[in-house]
Amino acid sequence: MGDIDRTGKIVVNPQFDEAWDFVNGLVKVRMAGGFGCIDKTGRYVYNPTK
């Protein structure tokens, strides 16, 4: 899973197994069995942990 903007441009490359909705500019993601949190640029705010 990744994310695109309203024009269809990719803003977060597809790399996650699952992603939830953005809340306050952050989104919870699951990757390789671990959960983390990224901002709207795709940078980790909280690194994935199991």
pLDDT band (50, 70, 90) for residue 1: low
Higher pLDDT, 29 or 10: 29
Cβ neighbours, 10 Å, residue 49: 8
pLDDT in tens, 13-27: 778 889 898 899 999
Across 6-11, average pLDDT: 84
Q: Are the C-beta atoms of residues 3 and 15 closer than 8 Å to each other?
A: no
> In this model, does residue 6 exceed pLDDT 90?
no
Number of independent structural domains in the chain: 1
pLDDT in tens, 27-47: 999 988 899 999 988 889 998
**15 closest CA partner among 44, 25, 50:** 44
Domain span including residue 10: 3-49
Residue 45: its pLDDT value, please? 94
Q: Are the C-beta atoms of residues 22 and 5 closer than 8 Å to each other?
A: no
